[in-house]
């Protein structure tokens, strides 16, 4: 079955400071892999999942994204909102959410997590959590900051980095929530979604996490960008 929610927000406004040594002339979401911008691979994935409308939250060198893609990519309709200054992950999503209503997938523009979005949507409609978060199973969750869930997939806590903590689940950077809910919960125009909403409200709100083993990569550091160049199809 196809997904009902066909819209997504992508955060593409990061400065990409850690990647500047190898990608210095463009935003990191536009880093070239086999002469194609990273974003185009993400667009292809979203098209396969049934997404048809995207709002891109841009910032640093955002005009280069708009001039490259314009307002369409195959069957995708693309809209842009631009941060005048860095607003954090929450602020960037909040800005883009002004253009949308209802359930919306939200994700980072510098990572690819090839999960079936339908599973997040099914959980949202069946259990009615405030947010469904895609989690990634890893061998050392403490290296990234672990997400603890109970046997019913309810998120109980977001833990700080603790190397050596062993295997577990981390935030995979894909969310499903209602745009109106984010607008209601936003503490300010600039804020961190992960710290100021997820971690701060984990004991108050019903956050649901679904763990996947699917392919995941974040090109935010040079070694992982090079890995993407090796692993992505030419």
Query: Using one digit for the tens of pLDDT, what is the confidence trace for 36-87?
Result: 999 999 999 999 999 999 999 999 888 999 999 999 999 999 999 999 999 9
Residue 68 lies in a domain: yes
Domain with 90 in it: 7-231
Residue 124 lies in a domain: yes
- CATH number of the structural domain spanning residue 192: 3.90.550.10
Contact 57, 13 (CB under 8 A): yes
Contact 8, 120 (CB under 8 A): no
Q: What is the pLDDT of residues 95-139, one digit of tens each?
A: 999 999 999 999 999 999 999 999 999 999 999 999 999 999 998
Structure tokens at 62: 């955002």
The number of domains in the chain is 1
Residue 224 lies in a domain: yes
Residue 199 lies in a domain: yes
Residue 78 lies in a domain: yes
Residue 2 lies in a domain: no
Query: Around Cβ 139, how many Cβ atoms within 10 Å?
Result: 8
- Cα 162–168–169 angle (5° rounding)? 100
Residue 1 lies in a domain: no
Kindly report the pTM of this predicted structure: 0.94
Nearest to 179 by CA among 55, 80, 120, 94: 94
């Amino acid at each position: 079955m196809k997904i009902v929610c066909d819209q997504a927000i992508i955060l593409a406004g990061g400065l990409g400071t850690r990647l500047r040594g190898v990608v210095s002339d463009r935003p990191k979401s536009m880093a070239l892999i086999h002469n194609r911008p990273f974003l185009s691979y993400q667009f292809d994935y979203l098209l396969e999942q049934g997404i048809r409308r995207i709002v891109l939250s841009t910032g640093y060198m955002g005009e280069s994204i708009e001039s490259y893609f314009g307002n369409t990519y195959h069957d995708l309709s693309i809209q842009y909102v631009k941060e005048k200054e860095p607003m954090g992950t929450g602020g960037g999503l909040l800005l883009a959410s002004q253009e949308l209503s209802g359930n919306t997938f939200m994700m980072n523009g510098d990572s690819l997590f090839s999960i079936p979005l339908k599973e997040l949507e099914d959980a949202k409609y069946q259990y009615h959590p405030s947010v469904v978060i895609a989690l990634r199973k890893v061998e050392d969750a403490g290296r990234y900051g672990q997400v603890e869930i109970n046997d019913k997939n309810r998120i109980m806590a977001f833990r700080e980095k603790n190397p050596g903590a062993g295997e577990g689940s981390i935030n995979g950077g894909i969310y499903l929530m209602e745009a109106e809910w984010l607008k209601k919960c936003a503490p300010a125009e600039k804020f961190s979604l992960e710290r100021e909403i997820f971690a701060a409200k984990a004991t108050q709100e019903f956050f649901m996490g679904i763990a996947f083993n699917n392919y995941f990569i974040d090109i935010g550091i040079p070694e992982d960008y090079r890995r993407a160049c090796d692993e992505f199809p030419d």
